[in-house]
């Protein structure tokens, strides 16, 4: 791997993390601009065609990322990778009649299921987003030559993908009034999820030292690994989570060698006991969404997660990291930060070395 030193030692720490162990400190991933450099700027888009190219032109993506890698300090367990990203819950765009729009920071999807009987959910292997997902994974690997890793695609959350197709409000009503249609749709989406992640895994595994990464999280795992989520679960009851989401999680965990659930906001705390009951779930990835309190307000929740034998991964500020290191076990702990200078990144890693404990 280029662009950073000491990756083999970092891999040892990551393996210890997956095993709920610790070598010399917790895992900490810190990214910063190199000395004299700044964070990359978003390019200017003259028209919608430029936006589409920004997301889907493999050559342009690799060119941008290589320039970014050259100017980035990858500290601790941080590493260079390219994200196969065509929108969160992107497999919602792999079906006939899919509607979507590229924006600067996201991909928006628009509902097309108005009538469950008339608007069938049919996987389209010729759909642009599906073909582009496979094409980009292949291209990124062909250009890597071992210099960087290539992530799994952002095809996460079957219920979230269904919300793209049906509309969130409609889907929430259907979970009460049209349960059979919802279950049938989720089964179809799960089949497409399995097909996609298996294909991409087979493309990227050799480039990734036999493993997988999640593009927006600085985490690698050997073997089959990708992110699970259910962002729509912030709007459903525990009974509905158990009925509609738990089957998806059990199915996806059975595909993986290592597993991670993206816990999107404090509203999901009401589902935490069910998540912790998943024997083969390895990691809870905690996200404090915009407008919610600092993770320091949830120390008892994090201790509960660790007491259940699960690993914990989260983004945090340097001030928050200092407290988290003092309050939580460093076994199975993975902290991620973005700072504005290489010196600040190095100081943060030194703090982790000093404060890590069992």
Q: Express each pLDDT in 93-103 by its tens digit.
A: 999 999 999 99
**Which tens digit of pLDDT belongs to each residue from 311-325?**
999 999 999 999 999
Is residue 1 a part of any domain in this protein?
no
Share of the chain above pLDDT 90, in %: 97
Is residue 107 a part of any domain in this protein?
yes
- Among the residues of 167-317, which ranges form H helices? 168-177, 179-204, 238-240, 246-255, 272-276, 299-307
- pLDDT surpassing 90 at residue 69: yes
Nearest to 27 by CA among 45, 48, 9, 42: 9
Nearest to 281 by CA among 357, 214, 203, 229: 229
The C-alpha atoms of residue 1 and residue 115 are separated, in whole angstroms, by: 50
pLDDT score, position 249: 98
- pLDDT surpassing 90 at residue 46: no
- 40-54, 208-222, 225-239: range with lowest mean pLDDT: 40-54
Is 283 strand, coil or helix? strand
Is 337 strand, coil or helix? strand
**One-character DSSP codes across 144-171:** HTTSSEEPBPS---HHHHHHHHH-HHHH
The C-alpha atoms of residue 46 and residue 51 are separated, in whole angstroms, by: 8
Supply 274's token pair: 């069910």
Is residue 2 a part of any domain in this protein?
no
Contact 283, 311 (CB under 8 A): yes
Sheet holding 333-338, edge to edge: 72-76, 27-33, 333-338, 311-315, 283-287, 258-264, 225-229
pLDDT score, position 112: 97
User: Kind and range of the H or E element at 210?
Assistant: none
Domain enclosing residue 249, as ranges: 7-355
Nearest to 189 by CA among 218, 233, 159: 159
Is residue 109 a part of any domain in this protein?
yes
Across the chain, what does the average pLDDT equal? 97
Tally of domains in the chain: 1
Contact 140, 82 (CB under 8 A): yes
Nearest to 302 by CA among 326, 280, 318: 326
- Which residues are bridge partners to 28 per DSSP? 335
The C-alpha atoms of residue 135 and residue 64 are separated, in whole angstroms, by: 18
Show the beta-strand stretches assigned E in 198-281: 211-214, 219-222, 225-229, 258-264
Is residue 191 a part of any domain in this protein?
yes
| Residues 202-225, mean pLDDT to the nearest whole number | 97
pLDDT score, position 315: 97
Is residue 221 a part of any domain in this protein?
yes
Question: In the structure, what pLDDT confidence band is assigned to residue 159 with cuts at 50, 70 and 90?
Answer: very high
Share of the chain above pLDDT 70, in %: 100
Q: How far is CA 60 from the centre of its chain?
A: 23
Is residue 71 a part of any domain in this protein?
yes
CATH code of the domain containing 295:
3.20.20.210
Q: Residue for token digits 């990464």?
A: 213
| Residues 78-87, mean pLDDT to the nearest whole number | 97
- pLDDT surpassing 90 at residue 269: yes
pLDDT score, position 358: 86
């Amino acid at each position: 791997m280029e662009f950073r030193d000491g990756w083999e030692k970092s891999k040892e720490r990551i393996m210890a993390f997956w095993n709920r162990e610790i070598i010399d400190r917790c895992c900490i991933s810190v990214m910063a601009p190199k000395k004299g450099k700044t964070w990359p700027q978003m390019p200017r888009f003259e028209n919608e065609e430029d936006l589409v190219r920004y997301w889907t032109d493999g050559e342009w993506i690799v060119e941008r990322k290589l320039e970014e890698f050259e100017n980035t300090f990858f500290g601790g367990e941080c590493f260079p990778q390219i994200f196969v990203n065509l929108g969160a819950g992107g497999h919602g765009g792999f079906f006939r009649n899919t509607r979507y729009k590229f924006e600067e920071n996201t991909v928006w999807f628009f509902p097309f299921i108005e009538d469950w009987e008339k608007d069938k959910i049919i996987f389209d292997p010729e759909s642009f987003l599906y073909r582009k997902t496979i094409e980009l994974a292949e291209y990124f690997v062909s250009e890597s030559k071992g210099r960087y890793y290539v992530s799994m695609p952002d095809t996460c959350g079957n219920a979230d993908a269904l919300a793209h197709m049906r509309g969130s409000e409609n889907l929430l009503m259907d979970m009460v009034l049209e349960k059979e249609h919802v279950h049938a749709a989720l089964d179809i989406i799960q089949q497409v999820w399995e097909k996609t992640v298996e294909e991409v895994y087979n493309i990227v595994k050799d480039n990734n030292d036999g493993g997988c990464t999640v593009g927006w999280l600085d985490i690698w795992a050997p073997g089959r690994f990708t992110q699970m989520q259910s962002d729509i679960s912030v709007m459903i009851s525990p009974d509905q989570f158990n009925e509609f989401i738990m089957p998806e999680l059990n199915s996806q965990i059975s595909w993986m060698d290592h597993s991670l659930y993206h816990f999107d906001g404090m509203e999901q705390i009401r589902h935490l006991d069910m998540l912790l009951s998943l024997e083969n779930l390895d990691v809870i990835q905690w996200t404090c969404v915009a407008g919610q309190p600092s993770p320091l307000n949830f120390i008892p929740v994090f201790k509960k997660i660790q007491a259940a034998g699960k690993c914990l991964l989260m983004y945090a500020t340097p001030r928050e990291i200092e407290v988290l290191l003092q309050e939580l076990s460093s076994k199975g702990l993975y902290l991620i930060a973005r700072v504005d200078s290489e010196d600040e990144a190095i100081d943060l890693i030194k703090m982790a070395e000093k404060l890590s404990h069992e």
